[in-house]
Structure 1
Amino acid sequence: MSTNNETITQAFVQQFADGYIMAAQQKESRLQATVSNYGDVTGSSFTANNMGATEANDVTSRLSDTVWNDNPNDTRVALMQDKDWSTPIDKYDLPKLKANPQGTYMQNGLAALNRKKDAVIYQSLIGTSITRAGEALPYGSIALPSSQKILDGGVGMTKAKLITAKKLFRKNEADEQNGEDLYMLYDAEMLEDILSDTTLTSADFMAVQMLQDGKLSGHWLGFTWVPYEALATSGTVKTTCAYAKSSTQFGIGLNRDIDIGPRRDKRNAIQIYIGESYGAVRTDEKKVVTIDYQF
């Protein structure tokens, strides 16, 4: 004969989750704050005007003719890119759920859009920039020159590559001596290479602190290190980049339009919709260095 002690467990109440835990993912934009803010944009594109360096003249005689100096300039064009994210919630499902997914769904969508924003900025750094020489002239393009690219050399990330990158910024007068903020993108493979390199981590106090913390975030070797796991990959080679904040302009056309409401054509399902529009363009090749490495 069963006893109360044996049957009482059948009446135990099961505690169901009353919330959702988002899967591991990058949630915030990490790159937007590392480039220049162009501001609000009206139209399908925006332009950034560059003024090149010029040289002063030697005056070798009195009362001689004035010599005019040419001021080289070019115009870069950023095309606006429209991005959105949307998902439905069936109204018939809501009474059956203890946890209302609406807030977490929106957070998930915002995280996806932030990663997309970073992808646009990253591609503008390493890719081809659109140029325009005049109002009536067609668009042109300019790629990052080979002089600004450090090849993989069949090895991973090394001290020599980092030193070469820093050297290029100094050579181009594009470092902290001219008030530039320099950034370096890194991912898990770079982190492993750097923390395993005793020539980088044996002497410098910050390097020792990095080993203790197991991260690169912060200022080191003249760069602010920014974690980014979506680096371009070709076979066994990845491409990261170091850059000055002023190297790239980022403009916003539509700043996060969020709409949550019923869809009449879907039996009043609740639709969460988020839309954005923005663009980015590299304005100075001397302020960007790409670094390839094996992984």
Structure 2
Amino acid sequence: MIQVRDCRTLLSNDPIPELGAFPILLTHCSLALWGQLFEQLRATYPAWHLVSPIDAKQHTSYDSIPLAEVGDRFPTLLASEPFCNLYLPPVAAGSLPALQQLIEVVAQLRSPAGCPWDRAQTPISLTPYILEEAYETVAAIRSGDIEHTIEELGDLLLQVVLQAQIFAEAEMFALADVAGGIAAKLIRRHPHVFGPEALSEIAVEEVRRRWEEIKTEEKQSETLADKVRSYADTFPPLLATSKIVKKTAGLEGVDGVLGSEQQLGDAIMAFEAAVKGDRELAQASLGEVLFLLVQLGHRHGLKATAALEGANAAAVRRVEAIEGVALGK
């Protein structure tokens, strides 16, 4: 049930106990009162908590905005009236207080009184840690070890919060922009859930098809060459090759000519010849062999990454067996 509170009364009394526990409509919010009101609200609500300003006269609501941005929006909100109303949804229990604590810890580490190592970091210097933590998180999930998974997800979350903190210090964007952006994208790309014609039942393949359609509409100016170039520039080589092969399947000149068993055999012979002399040519030939293997696997419904993971696991087992024999196990 919505609690209606006059912010002038709220400021003159002790904080009300239901603040944050229920939806609240704050009336008579003005620029003169906002500084004091914001401090009181921040004791309960995180800065990125989405609130909805409402025109006091027309009773029309504006788009939801983070609590921290309300003060900057007051000149627009109060264009026709000396005050407006503010709807505050309840604070979700559980995750948000812990997330707020992490944000505050990271901000303290980056402060002048914080840690010299953390203060010295830049978005670029931290990128290797993002990759490392992502791989370690995947390994933890695959292991089935819950405690390890919690730890690694925390390490990965730290990288997101730390990057956002650094960019916020440069006044470029904040964590609220990151969270709000992905929330908006999810809502936009799931019209079957959030749209006016939400569907209670829809096949997974249909969801994937609609996602790709919406994604294509959002990036209408992006060409096929742009896409495959982004794969090559963004992902590790094997993953990039897999994506390029999948995206260009059936494209004459890429998939229509390459990928045959005969061409793979020719490429292997070219590599064997080149490796005896021209190392630069041998390097290029090896790349072509690997690309053709990924392409051939795709044609037969096989995933190169999974295949190589299996081969790595087999190599580990062989090493363990050899060591076991040597140690008499």
Q: State whether TM-score is above 0.5.
A: no
Greater gyration radius: 2
The structure whose residues are more often strand, as a share, is: 1
Q: TM-score, normalised by structure 1?
A: 0.21
The structure whose residues are more often helix, as a share, is: 2
